[in-house]
């Protein structure tokens, strides 16, 4: 089973604090497949659990993905605005360079 991470964008229908009845339903864009390098984000990962988090303190959040096997993978954001891309997924490492893994079994 392949599970891919899909990003949904929501368009706000009004900026005022009071909404008319016809303004309460949000409008959605079509889903967009996120890519990590040349692969689909989350491809080959068992039950990916993504989280956006600034891991290195540069003010730009990275994509952190945990999975059923206890792996923690990270992709760094590249580009901005509508041209955001992600680096290939790599294991999240400790300060001494060892991959972080939570034994799940």
Dump pLDDT digits (tens) for 20-41. Answer: 556 678 888 888 888 999 999 9
Q: Which of 69, 70, 63 is nearest to 40 (CA)?
A: 63
The answer to whether position 104 is within a domain reads no
Number of domains in the chain: 1
Whether the CB-CB separation of 73 and 64 falls below 8 Å is answered with yes
pLDDT digits (tens, 9 = 90+) for 39-72: 999 888 999 999 999 998 999 999 999 999 899 9
In a domain, 98, yes or no: no
Say if 101 falls within a structural domain: no
Residue 64, domain extent? 6-91
Whether 19 is covered by a domain: the verdict is yes
Residues 68, 46 contacting (CB under 8 angstroms): yes
CB 21 within 8 A of CB 58: no
Asked whether residue 1 is assigned to any structural domain, the reply reads: no
The pTM (predicted TM-score) of the whole model is 0.67
């Amino acid at each position: 089973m392949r599970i891919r991470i899909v990003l949904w964008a929501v368009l706000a229908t009004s900026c005022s604090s009071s909404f008319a009845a016809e303004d309460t339903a949000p409008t959605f864009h079509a889903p967009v497949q996120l890519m990590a390098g040349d692969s689909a984000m989350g491809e080959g990962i068992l039950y990916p659990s993504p989280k956006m988090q600034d891991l290195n303190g540069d003010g730009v959040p990275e994509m952190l993905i945990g999975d059923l096997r206890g792996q923690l993978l990270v992709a760094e954001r590249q580009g901005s605005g509508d041209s955001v891309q992600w680096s290939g997924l790599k294991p999240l490492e400790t300060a001494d360079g060892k991959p972080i893994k939570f034994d799940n079994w």
